[in-house]
Chain A
Amino acid sequence: MKAINFLITGVGGQGTLLAGDLLAAVGLAAGYDVKKSDILGLAVRGGAVVGHVRWAERVFSPIVPDGQVDFLVAFEVLEGLRWLHHVRPEGTVLLNQQEIHPVTVSSGLTGYPDPAAVDRALGERGGPVFKVPGLELALRLGNPRVLNVVLLGALSSRLPLSAALWQQVLKNRVPGRYLELNEKAFEQGRTWAQERSDS
């Protein structure tokens, strides 16, 4: 069993916590030893958040070691760029194409990275990069809150596990009345990524 390190980054309130929970549960269901680590508390009020999930034969630390990220799942552009240098050279980046401006940007104290700079940083990567229109896909289902499951769907297409296993975890973890919506969100993300080679 190959060890896999995931980093989930975004802005507090975007649903990164649930994504980490689901991803950890999938690893456990697939027979891995699993550890995960979240930052809770004040950071969830619109601050930068990062969650670690590790799958392996045996996991010691719940923190992904520096520079050993296999999959970066970024819910927001700036919060993806912030962790880019921790992704292994051959690692995969899924970058949700959503920009949330920190208030220091709105008030003119700093600037948001411009698109050219983002593309330059992504262009230097060796491994696959997916610019996922996650919010757009979620809004197509009428609910921005399923962004997290859309992104997991996209991620799932890059992992050697059956879709059925993911669906089973969703069934166990998502309350009944939201299940169908989340199943659709997962499919949206998965199909979107399957239809694309690296872009």
Chain B
Amino acid sequence: MIETAERALIGCVASVDGKPVSPTEAIYEAATLLANSRSAVVAGLGTDVAGARASVALAQAIGASIDHMDAGAVFANLDVMRRAGWIVTTPLQTRTRADTVLLVGDGLLEAWPEMADRLGLDAPPTLTGGARRVFRLSSGTVPPVGAATILPTLAALRALVAGRATSLDEGAFRPLSDLATALAEARFGVAIWSGAELETLAVEMLCGLVDDLNRKTRFAGLPLLPPNGAEGVTQAAAWATGFPVRTGFAGSEPLHDPWRFDARRLIASGEADVAIWISAFSSTPPPWDDAVPTIALVASGTAFGTSPAVVFEVGCPGRDHDAMLFDPALGGIAFAAASARRTVPSVADTVAAIAAALPQC
């Protein structure tokens, strides 16, 4: 099995305790750590679909749990979706049909720098034609209502759209009232937000607003999804386990608990005694430094506070190697050919090699 791993890991750069070693030694060291662990967590999960599959399979094999480095943003959206449901659309429908666009929050450009261009926000809807009106609901555009967060503003806007009384003062009432009128006049409106920025209650309020607007016209949400492959990993985890990340595999059935299987909590509490940290898109070190022995699968050039027990450099999906990836402009998982192909193992190759080196139980 080890020889197979060696072949699969051509171009592998690995180290143990900060010292360069052969791939074979690194795989052996990683497998030994996992074999001797009582409870492991596979975290970070900044990877493509193949990496997610391999990681879930490894976690299932050793009874570990899985988490994603951007799980906070994943659940800001998902908690709303699975509590109340929602009405959503795709980037292509936004580009082709949205005559009214509501941009919510200050973090959209950060979540998707090419958003305005890819959605064609400065141009008419490409299919339905006519004008496109774009409204911004951010700290600089609408007077804040009550508190510093956007939630009370969204609540007031929802009340105005529904024709309910509000206690807004004149300065806040006029612009919000105008906005409410504009949203109700939409023929196909789209509200865009980023789960990385908005708190869950604000997402829920916004989705409620979208729902209300559908009583008379058509409106849909477009959640911008977190980075580091989070959506592809969420989807792959769902079809493989029935759940998103923050799911454990120690029992006979997968167990999903966003509080319990938060990797940072598992490590801080001592419940996890070994971690696998995966970050193939960004040079992000594990946030717990050396609080627990860590097997790091990371992009080249990642700087660590303390050297992890084992480090493997892995390729960037879609750049260094072909990958199936969630693409924000397409709104779905699609094939991404390597843009600058080089010989470096993928997360999937590396995780599979570790799994193959584990003692059979």
Q: Do A and B come from one complex?
A: no
